[in-house]
Every structure is written in structure tokens, then in C-alpha cells.
Amino acid sequence: MCSQQDAPDPVINTCNGFECGVKFEGPNSPNKPSLWTENWTSFVQRYGEEPFIRSAADIAFHVALFVAKNGTYVNYYMYHGGTNFGRTAAANVITSYYDQAPLDEYGLIRQPLWGHLKELHAAIKLCKVPLLAGSFETSSLGHLQIAYVFKGKSGKCAAFLVNNDNTSNARVRFQNISFELPSMSISILPDCKNVAFNTAKVSTQYNTRSRTVKYKFDSMERWEEFNEPIPIFSNTLLKANALLDHMSTTKDTSDYLWYTVSFQHESDAEAELSVVSNAHVVHAFVNGAYKGYAHGGKHNFALENPIELKNGTNHITLLSVMVGFPNSGAYLERKTAGIRSVRIQNRYLNNYQWGYQTVFDAPGGNDPLALNLGSMGKGEVWVNGKSIGRYWVSIHTPQQRPSQTWYNIPRSFLKPEENQLVLVEEEYGDPLGITLDSVSITKDAKY
């Protein structure tokens, strides 16, 4: 299968997206089925972005429309959210994955989405005989209204009445019966007479996901801190007369690559350090002192800071950081990342030779668990040696909040007692503010 309209036989051209009932041109050969291989229930969320939320009514509308247009298969991507444990998340993608799906990251039911889709599936199943073995026809019910009708040889009939008007309800007549169609909705009639389901009428009760603190990591005596040494040129094992590419050098074994160079300067002076990178983050150290950092996204970004140079040998050390590697797109093999240029005043150095921990017990019960890292900055977390993913709490969305604060810890990662929690913190943070919370679902009384 291939999400490409000109897929050659015998490859089946399919559709991926939000609105395949609208945008898919259909199979490019009469002997191929109409397949929606990825119905995106949400979308990949990147650091600095709010979650993408699709309403239950919107998803139901487009599924029903695809089936009404002779669609034979719909695959929800994702139906169950998940967690990008370890370093498995793609470039700039948060650790939580499709948490807005009908079953969230923890496997908890998200209402009304789950319940509304369940009712949709049941209504479509009632139409199975004419859908699978009947003839197909369409008829206009108005300027923006249309009926898709399936008639079986046994006389069974099913209809999908569509109102494409996104502002107004419509009253239509179908087989001498009057029907009220809400705006942007589809009514499913398994017998061509009675409405079994309408995509816009959401009757499922809403629920709310809540968290309860089970453990506070607020005891300084239980933490141990280790500082990473800052390398200098003479201590490095790999040297090159160029700025090496981050991805090909680390071969996806690490998010981090140190770049360090030593050079002679003839006086004590202040200078301007300019570093251009197309990785995600760069930290700068001069003679062992931290001088700041910068971050970017899809394009090159620059770190420009004043620095103090001393008379004699100066050590410039740069830490390039990738928050996941690219995982898709055209010409993936040509993509590069890392530091592209380094300049101090008018001197380019491109061609120079470069070269927290605690323990805790598992809370009782069976509720899912999540680590609240709202007090931290950026880094990665391990529980009993297993990475639960990267975190980047310090980068905020336009609404001035982190893209992700809670990080899923499967109970299978835990022992009854003496669980080890390790964090690598790149920026700053207060580990005493970390909590271990349980996650649960409650019905929302407002609906």
C-alpha cells in the first residue's frame, strides 16, 4: 500500500490524513479497494506546541463520509496513544504520543470521543448487508446536502444523509420522509427510514483526567548530584579539521556531541562568540565557564554571546544537542545536523582541529503513574535503568505553559521498593519539586 495517487499496480494507493472522505480521489484502478490507512485522531505534538484536538463529531463525520463514498477500510492513527520511551521520539517531538486519542497515553478511555465512535461503529455495522453486497447510488437533497444510498438484492437499504453546510441546519426529504440534519453532519439510516446515528449529536458523557500526588521527591538528603566534566581539546579521542555532522558522528547512539577547540590569543580582551547550528540546542563554554545557550527548530539558529578571552591558550567547548533525529520526509539521507560555523570576532574556527539520582518505593494500587517534572528544565529521565524519555519543560507554548509536564512510568518498570530515579538536567531545575502522581478518570458533572 502507498499513500500516493499514482501508485503502480499491484500497489494499492491509499489515503492518510484528517479528511480522506473529502480529499481522497479514490483507487486508481477498479480492482483496488478504497483504503484510509491513517485516520489521524490527533497529530504529532512538538515542543512549544499545544496538543492538537479533534472533536468527536469531526472524526465521526469524516469516517461516516468515507464509508458512504464506498470506503472499505478505516484505520485510526492512533486509536491508543503511547509514550516515546528512551530516545525513540522524532525530531523535536514530545515524549507523549497521540495522548488525545480515544484511549490515551495511559490506556484510559477519553470521553466523549471513545463512546461516540463506538456508537458510530455500531450504526455502520447495522448497514453491513447493503454496504457489502448492495448497489450504490447518490441523490441530491439540496445545494449542500446529498444522500448516499446502498440497496441490497433482498430489499435491504441503508442511507447516509450528508449536510455539508458548516453554518446551518438543513431540513431535507428523503423517500418522502422529512429529516432534520444538523450543520456539518451525517445521519445514518440502516433501513433508509430511521436515523440510528448522527455524527454531530454527541450523547456520551464527558470525563476528566486527574492526577493525585503519591510521592514527593522533596528530601534533599535522598538526592545525589553528579556534574559532567567539560572536555578540552587535548582530552578528546576524535579529531578533525572540520565541524563534523552530529548525526553521522554519533550514529544515533547519543543526543549529545561535544565540539571543542583550543587556540592562542595574544591579549586579555572581550570578544563576540557566534555559533550557527542546525541541531536543536547548543550550549557554550569558554575556558570551563558556562556562557549561555540557544535553541532552534527546523532551521539554522545562532548563539551570539560576549565572552572574555585570556592571553595565551583559550578553550572553546560547545555542546550540540539533538532532541530526536529526523524520521521521515524526502531525501532523508541528505539531512544533516550539528554546528555549522563558529566565529570569534572576525576569526572563523570552522577549519581548526576540533576535537541527579535518588530511590523511591512504588505506590500501591493499579492506577497509572506519571512523574511531574514541572520544576525541571531540559534533559532525560531513567527509572531503574530504563529511559522514560526526554523532557523539555522550559520551552513554552504560545499559552505560556510546557508542552508536556507529566511523564508516563509504566508499573512494569517499577519494583515494590528501592526504585532508582536518575535525571540528566542540561539547564537548571529543582528536583525537590518533582512528584510521582497517580492518574485517573472521573465523569464530568458539567455534561
Q: Is it the case that residue 357 has pLDDT exceeding 80?
A: no
Between residues 85 and 329, the one the model is more confident about: 85
Per-residue pLDDT of 261-291, as tens digits, reads 998 888 888 899 999 999 999 999 999 999 9
The DSSP bridge partners found for residue 312 are 265
Identity (one letter) of the amino acid at 166? N
* CA distances (Å), origin 238, targets 249, 252, 387, 415: 10, 17, 27, 40
Q: Is it the case that residue 236 has pLDDT exceeding 90?
A: no
Q: What is the mean pLDDT of residues 235-248?
A: 90
Distance between the two ends of the chain, CA-based, in angstroms?
42
Phi, psi angle pair for 73, to nearest 5°: -160, 135
pLDDT given for residue 76 in this prediction: 98
For the domain spanning 127-203, the CATH number is 2.60.40
**Which DSSP letter does residue 361 get?**
P
Q: Based on C-alpha coordinates, what's the Rg of the chain?
A: 28
Q: What is the mean pLDDT of residues 74-92?
A: 97
* CA neighbor of 387 nearest in space, from 16, 35, 85: 85
Domain 207-226+357-443: CATH architecture, name and number where available? Sandwich (2.60)
pLDDT given for residue 447 in this prediction: 54
pLDDT given for residue 154 in this prediction: 82
Q: Is the CATH code 3.40.47.10 the one for domain 233-348? A: no
Upstream peptide bond of 78 is cis (omega within 30 degrees of 0): yes
Q: Is it the case that residue 308 has pLDDT exceeding 70?
A: yes
Whole-number Å distance between alpha carbons of 205 and 207: 7
Per-residue pLDDT of 414-442, as tens digits, reads 999 999 999 999 988 899 999 999 999 98
Q: H helices within 90-219, ranges in order?
A: 113-126, 128-133
Q: Is it the case that residue 445 has pLDDT exceeding 60?
A: no
Average pLDDT, the chain: 93
Sheet containing strand 339-344, strands side by side: 301-309, 269-277, 339-344, 347-348
Q: Is it the case that residue 239 has pLDDT exceeding 70?
A: yes
The H or E element that residue 260 is part of is strand 256-265
Q: Is it the case that residue 134 has pLDDT exceeding 80?
A: yes
pLDDT given for residue 314 in this prediction: 93
CA-angle at 385, arms to 380 and 390, nearest 5°: 15
* Residue pair 292/351 in contact by the 8 Å Cβ criterion: no
Tell me the domain boundaries of the chain.
Answer: 1-122, 127-203, 207-226+357-443, 233-348
* Residue pair 226/431 in contact by the 8 Å Cβ criterion: no
* CA neighbor of 343 nearest in space, from 260, 259, 241, 274: 274
Per-residue pLDDT of 166-193, as tens digits, reads 999 999 999 999 999 999 999 999 999 9
* Residue pair 79/109 in contact by the 8 Å Cβ criterion: no
* Residue pair 41/77 in contact by the 8 Å Cβ criterion: yes
Q: Is it the case that residue 13 has pLDDT exceeding 70?
A: yes
Secondary structure (3-state) at 258 = strand
Q: State the pLDDT confidence band at 328, using cuts at 50, 70 and 90.
A: confident
Q: Is it the case that residue 359 has pLDDT exceeding 80?
A: no
Q: What is the mean pLDDT of residues 95-119?
A: 98
Q: Do domains 207-226+357-443 and 233-348 have the same CATH topology?
A: yes
Q: Is it the case that residue 51 has pLDDT exceeding 80?
A: yes
Q: State the pLDDT confidence band at 446, using cuts at 50, 70 and 90.
A: low
